[in-house]
Structure 1
C-alpha cells in the first residue's frame, strides 16, 4: 500500500475528530445543561458571578449542540451540504471560543473585587452591572467574529456553494491570515493577559492582607488557585490551536512556497488541535462548581435533599 499524504486529513476527520466531538458532546452537554437548569430553577438570589457563569454555560451549551452533526458528517465521510448550517456552525463555534475566555476574565475580575470588597459594595459586584458587562461582551465577540461570515460566504461562493471549509481553509477578498492574527490578538492573547493579571493581583492582595483575613485565608486562596487554573487551561488548550491555525493559513499563501505534503502535515497538526481547543466546554462546569460562591453550597443541599426524598420514596410500605 502506497502512502498518500493527501489522505491524512480524511483519516483524521473520520477516526479522530468524529469520536472526539461525540465524546465532548456526551460529557459536556449534560454538565452544562444541569448548570443552566440549576441556575434557572434553584438559585434563590443571583450575584454578579452567577450572571457570568450562566452566560458561560449558555455559550457552551449552544456550541455543544453543533457537535453531533459534525461528528456524524465526519464519521460517514460526508461534506456539509447546507451552506446555512455551515455558516451557523462555524459562527457559533468561534463565538463560543472567544466568549468563553472573556467571561472567565470577568469571573476573575469578580473574584478579585470580592476579596478587595468583601461587603460587595463595589458597583462592579452588582448583578445589574454584570448584566450590562455580559451584554457588551456578547456584542464585542460578535463584532470580532462577524468578518468570518463574509469570508465564509466568499469561500462558499467560489466553491459553488458546495464546499464547507474550516477557518484555516477559507479563501476570499478578506485577508484570512491578517484577520486570523488580529482575532488571535484581540480574542485570545489580550483576555489571557487579563486572566493572568487578575491571578497575580489576587495573589498580591492576599499577601498584603493575609493578617486581616486570617479566618478567610483558605477561601481566598482557593479563589487565586481557581483563577490560575483557568489561565493554565486556556493557555494549554488555546495556544496550540491559534498557533497552528495561523501557521496553516500562512502555509497556503503563494509567497510561502510550501510543498503539498508539507501543507498536508501542517493541516493534520491543525486538525489535532481543534477538538483540544473546544475541550474547554467540557471542563468549564468544574469552574461553575468551584467559583459558585454560596450557589455551590445551595445546589449541593438541593441534591442531598432530593437524594433523601428518593430514598424515602423507595422504602417499602
Structure 2
C-alpha cells in the first residue's frame, strides 16, 4: 500500500498559497463583470447573458478555493462531513457550468458572425433562448455534479475531503464524463466555431480583423494551455482506476503531484475569463472607466481624455459593414 506521503507534503506547502492567490485575483475580475452588468450594461445579446452567468459560475468556483486551501494545510480537513460534500459539490457544479458556458459563447459567436443575417433577424428570440439555454446549462451542471455531492466525505485516515466512489465502475465513469464535458466537448466546439469565424474574417474588409483573429488565438490558446495538462493527467488516472496499471509507489507519488499542479493551472482559467471575454471589449472598458470615475479613482478630466479615443475608434469601426462582427468578438 502506497501512502503517498510525498504528495501530502507537497500539497501542504503548494496548494494553500496558490489557491488564495487565484481566489483573490479571479474574484476581483469576475466581481467587476457582475457589477458592470448590474449597474452599467443592459443585456442585449446572448453573449451578454452567457458572460454574466460565466462570471457568476467563476465566482462560485473560486469561493470553494479558500476551503480547499484550508483542507490542504497541515491540520487537514477540519470542517466536517457536511461542508466537505457542499464544497466539493459546488466546485464540481461550477466547473461544469463554466466550461459549458464557454461552449455556448463559442456557438453564439459563430451564429452572430458566420450566420449574421439570420442572427440579426431573430435577435429578440435569441435573447430569450439564451436565458433558457443558460438555465439548461445550470440544470445539466447540477445533474453532473450529483455524484460529488453524494460521495464526497471526510476521510479520517488521511484527514482529507475526498470523493470516495463505491465499487469499481463509478469512478472511471466519473472520470470519462469529466473528460468529455470538461475538455473534449468545449475544445471541439471552440475549434469548429472559431475556425469558421476566422475563415469569415479573412474575407472581411474591416481593419480590425487581424486583431479579432489574435483575440480568437488567445482564447483558444489559454483554454488549451490551462486545461490540456490537467485532462491528460485525468486520462492516466482514469486508466489506472480501470486497470490499476501503476503499481510503483514513486510513480504514483509523481502522478499525484502532477495532478495537483495541473489542476491548479486549470483554475487559472477562471482568473483569465474576465479579460478574455469581457474587459478586452471596447464597451466593457468604457463601462469600467465609468465605474472608476464614479468611485473617485479617475477624475472627470482623465475620464474624458481616456474615453474620447475609444469613442473615436468605435465610430471608425461602425463605418464598416462588419460592425456586428467586431462587437460580437468584444473588440
Specify if TM > 0.5: yes
Partners in 2 of 1:128 and 1:253 — Cα distance? 43
Partners in 2 of 1:237 and 1:83 — Cα distance? 31
Q: Does 1:103 align with 2:101?
A: yes
Q: Which residue matches 2:12?
A: 14
Partners in 1 of 2:236 and 2:301 — Cα distance? 55
Partners in 2 of 1:86 and 1:254 — Cα distance? 28
Q: How does 1:211-226 map to 2 (within 5 A)?
A: 214=205, 216-218=206-208, 220-226=209-215
CA contact (8 A) 1:238 1:277 kept: yes
CA contact (8 A) 1:18 1:75 kept: yes
| 1:51-77 per-position Cα deviation (integer Å, ceiling 9, x unaligned) | 111101001111111212222332343
Aligned partner (choices 38, 44, 67) of residue 69 of structure 1 = 67
| TM-score, length of structure 2 as denominator length | 0.78
Partners in 2 of 1:53 and 1:184 — Cα distance? 23
CA contact (8 A) 1:196 1:228 kept: no
The Cα of 1:180 is off from its aligned counterpart by 0.5
Q: Which residue matches 1:240?
A: 229
Distance 1:35 1:121, change over 3 A: same
Distance 1:106 1:254, change over 3 A: closer
Cα RMSD (Å) of the superposition? 3.0
SS at match of 1:120: helix
Partners in 2 of 1:102 and 1:42 — Cα distance? 26
Unaligned 5+ runs, structure 1:
313-317
Distance 1:115 1:291, change over 3 A: farther
Q: Which residue matches 1:183?
A: 178
Distance 1:268 1:60, change over 3 A: same
Q: Does 1:308 align with 2:299?
A: yes
Partners in 2 of 1:110 and 1:296 — Cα distance? 22
Distance 1:137 1:291, change over 3 A: farther
CA contact (8 A) 1:15 1:75 kept: yes
Q: Which residue matches 2:166?
A: 172
Q: How does 1:266-285 map to 2 (within 5 A)?
A: 266-285=255-274
| 1:262-315 per-position Cα deviation (integer Å, ceiling 9, x unaligned) | 212211111111111111111111024356463443333453565225989xxx
The Cα of 1:5 is off from its aligned counterpart by 8.0
CA contact (8 A) 2:34 2:55 kept: yes
Q: Does 1:197 align with 2:188?
A: no
Partners in 2 of 1:14 and 1:162 — Cα distance? 13
Q: How does 1:30-109 map to 2 (within 5 A)?
A: 30-109=28-107
Partners in 1 of 2:282 and 2:160 — Cα distance? 43
Partners in 1 of 2:283 and 2:120 — Cα distance? 14
Q: Which residue matches 1:132?
A: 132
Partners in 1 of 2:223 and 2:65 — Cα distance? 20
Distance 1:152 1:126, change over 3 A: same
